Amino acid sequence: MATQKFLVRHKDSTYEVDYNAETGLEVLRCQLYSLTLVPPKSQNIYRKDNFPVKDDSDLLADSGSSVEELRVVSMEEDVASASTMETSDKELARLLQEYYASPGKKEFEKRIQSHIRGVLMYEDAVLQEEARKTVPVDELEEKALISLAKEGNFIPSKAEQDHAFLLQLLFWFKKSFRWVNSPPCDACGRETSFINRGTASASELEYGASNVELFGCNSCSRITRFPRYNDPRKLLETRRGRCGEWANCFTLYCRAFGFKSRLILDFSDHVWTECFSDCIGRWMHLDPCEGVYDNPLLYEKGWKKKLSYIIGIAKDGVCDVTKRYTRKWPEVLSRRVLTSEDDVSAVLADITRECRRGLSSQECAILGDCDKKAAEELGKGHDSNDDDSIALPGRQSGDKEWRLARSEIGPEENSSLSCFSCPIRTCIDDHVKSIYNALFLLLCSFAHERVSREKTLENIQMLKSLLVDLRNSPFRRRRALVNPWFLFFTESKMLSSVDGFLSALSLKKDLEGDGSLSVCLSGNPIKVSMALPVALDALDELMYNLENVKRFGMEPLSLPVVKFNRLCSGSVQASGEELPVGIVTSAFDGLRLSKWEEPNGARGAWIVYKLLDGEMQELVAYELMSADDAPERDPKDWIVEGSDDGGCTWVVLDTQHSQFFDSRFMRKTYRVELERRMSNAFRWVTPLEPLSLNVNLEFCIIDLHLFCKHTKMQRLPWPTIRLHGGFSVMSDSYVAGSPAIDCLESNILGARNSVLANPILQYECFCRLTTCHTFFLLPKQADPDFYKIGYVRHVRAYGVEFKEGPDGFGVFASRDVEPTRRARVIMEIPLELMLTISQKIPWMFFPDIVPIGHPIFDIINSANHETDWDLRLACLLLFAFDCEDNFWQLYGDFLPSDNECTSLLLAEEDELSELQDQSLAVTMKEQQQRILEFWEKNWHSGVPLKIKRLADDFERFLWAVGIAQSRCINLRMRIGALVQDANMLIPYADMLNHSFQPNCLLHWRFKDRMLEVMINAGQHIRKGDEMTINYMHGKKNNMFMQRYGFSSPTNPWDSIQFSGNSKIHLDSFLSAFNIAGLPDEFYHNSEDT
């Protein structure tokens, strides 16, 4: 294109510039910079017609001909020009005031003075006490603390608590005070219509009702009087009125609770309140009629009011706060023609001086400083920019005709305070996940014990009644008595499950002085306040779902009957939301009565959910619950997307069309079928609805359920996983990501109850495995031949039999055993089934297991007999595995391999770094170092081959130590007068299961080199009872579990939490012993017995 010439003007200079369209506007700006010294980023370029030049196309006129003349102005010059225009507007307003204002000074003063007496009444101590008595203080304090906790603030400061309480006081007042358009008929209660104004009676004048409105009944023609009381004492009684009564009474409440408050008088006919908040360090706008706070532009921007004078009236002075409520000060100034600005300042100063007449000079000085700071705040505030992301509504209080007559209805009749450029919010909802998981375990315990559906529902109802009693008790000291017939608290096998449920609610059991059982707080009372309504909603939904289950058992316990592995604690952002309660996190709080509201949802809406710390997870299913009001606000079509890069790119995971929610609070479950992939962000998107552009979109609850899979490769907790439904799953140790998972889904319970869709299988299989393996499906495995070879052939049994029970192969009584004073022997376990190392010198050994003179002796003797018993026992175990025709060689094939052992001894450094308990991680590193030093010392290159082959690599020896620790029992042996404390390795855990009340004990009989299993003295055993035993004794049980990764230090049956998704569960600990069942059967092991 040919070069064009432009005539460029800048200030008083003119330049000719050649412009080439191929090089573009940026080159032209550089040319202008060389001529005008105005930097390219600071240039404002205008055409001759004053049209701004933004891109190359603006350099062409409408006809297409080149523009010949341009003007360059710096941005600073443009700002100065705008300031000059504003100054001229202010000057015009000043001239208008001088022309109109002179006669209005007294009228201005009179309007303010009429409210002074009422404001001073707020300081009456008796009146304040009367006001406080009408407020449910505990309820508002609880709600205030909950509102802070939902933001993650569980330990707020005094200022934060006061600020939150003030807002709850506003919301409570909005609901408890009644707006009057026209009062109901005093005679028949029907609607009335305004007739005229009447004359106030003496009793009405006593409470400041100089204005009385008369209304005629539309049915019986009876006249109803509506006196407009101004005395807040009377308003505490009537609790009704319009904006004048509302603001009057609410300001009294604010003063009654110690807030620095003032009544705000708007000369354009409105009244509200301001309070000083120590939390935000400034005065805050509160409108009790609208239930809106800290939105001072509500009237100008939302109601479209033509403001003039807005005056704050307090006990210690008055002030002009108009600038806080406008961003159009020149326009407002032009309407302030009642009197001059000088007169306004003089009147306010005189009234303030009169209000402070009785104060000391020091108090007056403090108030003066406060006035100065407030004036500076107003001066800064009115120059700030509007927040265009906040949509301010028209007036909501009052009927439509009244609002229209006042021109306060705003641009959209049904609009509300909303935000369409929402901040990123954090979901404080880990308690929701804990409650769902705990309810799942409760149902499992019922199904496992074969409790009928009717009995289950009865006990769930009793549990709900207990929670209702707790909810109705004072939140700081909640306590409720337990129904003595409550199965959860009377059946020992369910105690662990109910304790877990109470713990999820931050509750615990407690014994009263009269022996009755109660439930009370176990931690922060606000955590209970947040959890109780979630639990009650979950119980209601659970009972509804169970009533529609045809057959109660393990198989129906899947979505949507129970929820498991719900996503929580992520960050979320939405396309829009209603303030203050319809924000997007309300969809993730587990509550029916809260909801996310998108005011422009019909125009398309979205939610982006990002996982905590960028964690990668796989979405299996999600659930949506309809909100409480209009069905037309339910979504119909949407897509769900996933992202593995934090939201930069998205992949469609699920698509839904023409969805319909039949009822309110209806939950629908959607399983992700289109594509499953690891993601760290999810997005839910609805399309544009062209036929309903003014309809809001609402959700009550959104739950995201995950398939627990960690991104790191980690060891399997055990080789055999026993599942409900009649199958066991064996791992062939292939790598993660195998397509055989799909085969597993289709074979276990069919497509409908697949592993990924069934929380039972998910809980018992995938949540324990932290990486995917290929699985082969086998019939339920209980190998009697192993036990016959390993035990029955060697063990002498008296009155017991080996058979398969409901929880796996075990030992059961073959006849009734009456209680006796002495422990009765039921089994004798011979030497071949034991490995024993004494903790004292001389250490004991058995020649038929370890031949005398074998070099392993020297290695064992080199270890400390008191602190290194596990190293000594590991050496003995490795030697036993090396011997031919040895029972331990057979048993070694059954033990978990070094790739499957659960001991944290085998964890790598990066895996240990993920433990939240770093003291445990340090302990494990120290233990690994101790074992490494021992192995390097004794397995060096010069050792004999028969020693080297026992543990030719360090991991093999580390595994042996882990096995020794996990299979070890401690026993005191008596040999005549000699008492020995021994560490014994015996696989009895694979033969004897465990329960809440073990009925057997161990005893060593040296004479025959036997270990006896004996029934506890005084124990009554019935035929068919399972023989159960505690696997250790004393504190070493807990220490063992803490040290080697099966539990947490505070509660040995809790799982250890990692920073990622990985966990080591109680079940993985039990699986190391080939024990199946629910946690409550083994609860006794957490106690020192």
What are the catalytic residues? 243, 270, 287
Instruction: Write phi, then psi, for 209 (nearest 5 degrees).
Output: -90, 70
Which residue is associated with the tokens 């080439």? 20
CB atoms within 10 A of CB 551: 7
Helix (H) or strand (E) holding 596: strand 596-598
Helix (H) or strand (E) holding 223: strand 223-227
Phi/psi of residue 243, nearest 5 degrees: -60, -35
Contact call for residues 664 and 640 (beta carbons, < 8 A): no
Taking alpha carbons only, the member of 227, 448, 567 closest to residue 1077 is 448
Structure token digits, residue 687: 């399309």
Tell me if 1042 sits within 8 A of 920, measured CB to CB.
Answer: yes
Other C-beta atoms lying within 10 Å of the C-beta of residue 390: 17
User: Using only C-alpha atoms, what is the Rg of the chain?
Assistant: 39
Rounded distance between C-alpha atoms, residue 880 and residue 894, angstroms: 14
Contact 549, 453 (CB under 8 A): yes
HSE value, Cβ hemisphere, 13 Å, CA-based, for 804: 8
Number of other residues whose CB lies within 10 A of the CB of residue 82? 9
CB atoms within 10 A of CB 917: 16
Beta-strand runs (E) in 733-858: 775-779, 796-797, 800-805, 808-813, 824-830, 835-838
Say if residue 83 is exposed, middle or buried (CB neighbours under 10 Å; 0-12, 13-18, 19+).
exposed
Find, among 596, 680, 601, the residue nearest to 636 by Cα: 601
Structure tokens, 71: 């003007």
With both helix axes pointing from N to C terminus, report the angle between 341-355 and 105-121 in degrees, rounded to the nearest 10. 30
Answer whether 861's CB lies under 8 Å from 760's CB.
Answer: no
> Could you tell me if 521 and 477 are in contact, meaning their C-beta atoms sit under 8 angstroms apart?
yes
DSSP state of 324: G
CA-CA-CA-CA torsion sign (685, 688, 691, 693): positive
Residue among 805, 982, 806, 987 nearest 896 (CA): 987
What is the distance between the alpha carbons of residues 215 and 223, in angstroms, rounded to a whole number? Answer: 6
- Any residues with CB less than 8 A from the CB of 457 and at least 6 apart, and which? 543, 546, 547
Whether the link from the prior residue into 560 is cis, omega within 30° of 0, is yes
Residue type, 21: A
Q: How many CB atoms lie within 10 A of CB 169?
A: 24
Residues 595 and 577: beta-carbon distance below 8 Å: no
Beta strands in 358-482 (DSSP E): 390-391, 418-419, 425-426, 479-481
Contacts of 995 (CB under 8 A, 6+ apart): 493, 1026, 1028, 1081, 1082, 1084
931 class by beta-carbon count within 10 Å (0-12 exposed, 13-18 middle, 19+ buried): buried
Q: Which amino acid is at 401?
A: E
Tokens 């304090």 belong to 141
Question: Which amino acid belongs to residue 233?
Answer: R
> For the residues of 458-523, what is the DSSP string, one character each?
HHHHHHHHHHHHHHHS-GGG-EEEPPTT-HHHH-GGGHHHHHHHHHHTTEEEEE-TTS-EEEEE-S
